[in-house]
């Protein structure tokens, strides 16, 4: 399988809210998300041959959940020159309450 840079799908806010609520319901002691700054995302995407970003689920030494980001090329191979972690976690910093980070879902 080769990557062309169009993998994934744009979904509705309603669908996204159902997915994130289901995750929160099934993982009440886990984090809700992790924020990574634009400069780090752009550093990954600027690598030669990068077609997108792969996100690896990971666990910190304290047992908390995080995500490690790397680029991937058209063959699906990881580009290991830029590896990103230590994003800002939600909770603590979740931004304004919305249907992706609270107990409601969009209709």
Going residue by residue through the chain, which has 107 residues, state the pLDDT in tens, using 9 for 90 and above.
799 999 999 999 999 999 999 999 998 888 889 999 999 999 999 999 999 999 999 998 988 888 999 999 999 999 999 999 989 888 888 889 888 888 776 66
Other C-beta atoms closer than 10 Å to the C-beta of 99 total 17
Contact of 3 with 85, CB cutoff 8 Å: no
**Any idea where the domains of the chain sit in the sequence?**
13-90
Q: For the whole model, what pTM was predicted?
A: 0.85
Q: For residues 52 and 3, what is the distance between their CA atoms, to the nearest angstrom?
A: 8
């Amino acid at each position: 399988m080769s990557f062309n840079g169009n993998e994934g799908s744009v979904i509705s806010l309603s669908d996204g809210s159902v997915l994130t609520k289901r995750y929160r319901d099934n993982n009440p002691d886990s984090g809700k998300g992790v924020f990574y700054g634009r400069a780090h995302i752009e550093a990954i995407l600027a690598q030669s041959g990068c077609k997108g970003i792969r996100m690896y689920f990971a666990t910190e030494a304290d047992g908390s959940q995080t995500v490690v980001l790397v680029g991937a090329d058209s063959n699906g191979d990881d580009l290991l020159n830029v590896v990103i972690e230590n994003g800002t976690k939600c909770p603590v910093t979740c931004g304004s309450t919305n249907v992706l980070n609270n107990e409601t879902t969009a209709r």
